[in-house]
């Protein structure tokens, strides 16, 4: 009975690498086939920008909500949301240290 009432697809249950746009397409098609209205990112510990970008677009297009977004993924999702809203490609700010060492 609970499975029928549960309208959330957990990405971690799909056992896929959250890395490519094709996998995002697969996740959304699975949600549509299972008649899910939400996709949960609960227990997601690694996700690529291209996957999240495609997931964001396809979920928006198909009226599927993204829920249970981990704290470390939230800034990237906000950046993607802002990029699409402003029609400008924003890049995340990262801290890098440039080495002056030469490797052979």
Phi, psi of 50 (to 5 degrees): -65, -40
The answer as to whether 73 is a domain residue is yes
**Domains in the chain, number:** 1
* Length in residues, the chain: 104
Helix (H) or strand (E) holding 49: helix 49-61
Are 30 and 60 in contact, with CB atoms under 8 Å apart? no
The answer as to whether 102 is a domain residue is no
Say how far apart CA 5 and CA 68 lie, in whole Å. 18
Q: Could you read off the pLDDT of 86-102 as tens digits, one per residue?
A: 988 877 777 777 778 77
pTM (global) more than 0.85: no
The answer as to whether 29 is a domain residue is yes
**E-only strand ranges, the chain:** 8-10, 38-40, 65-67
> Residue 62: which domain range?
2-86
Say how far apart CA 30 and CA 35 lie, in whole Å. 8
The answer as to whether 42 is a domain residue is yes
User: How many alpha carbons fall within 13 Å on the CB side of residue 25?
Assistant: 3
Q: Could you read off the pLDDT of 26-81 as tens digits, one per residue?
A: 999 999 999 999 999 998 888 999 999 999 999 999 999 999 999 989 999 999 99
The answer as to whether 103 is a domain residue is no
């Amino acid at each position: 009975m609970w499975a029928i009432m549960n309208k959330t697809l957990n990405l971690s249950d799909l056992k896929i690498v959250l890395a490519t746009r094709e996998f995002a397409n697969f996740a959304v098609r699975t949600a549509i086939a299972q008649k899910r209205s939400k996709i949960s990112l609960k227990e997601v510990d690694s996700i690529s920008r291209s996957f999240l970008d495609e997931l964001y677009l396809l979920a928006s297009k198909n009226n599927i909500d993204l829920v249970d977004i981990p704290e470390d993924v939230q800034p990237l999702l906000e950046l993607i949301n802002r990029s699409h809203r402003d029609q400008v490609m924003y890049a995340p700010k990262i801290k890098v240290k440039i080495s002056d060492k030469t490797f052979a």
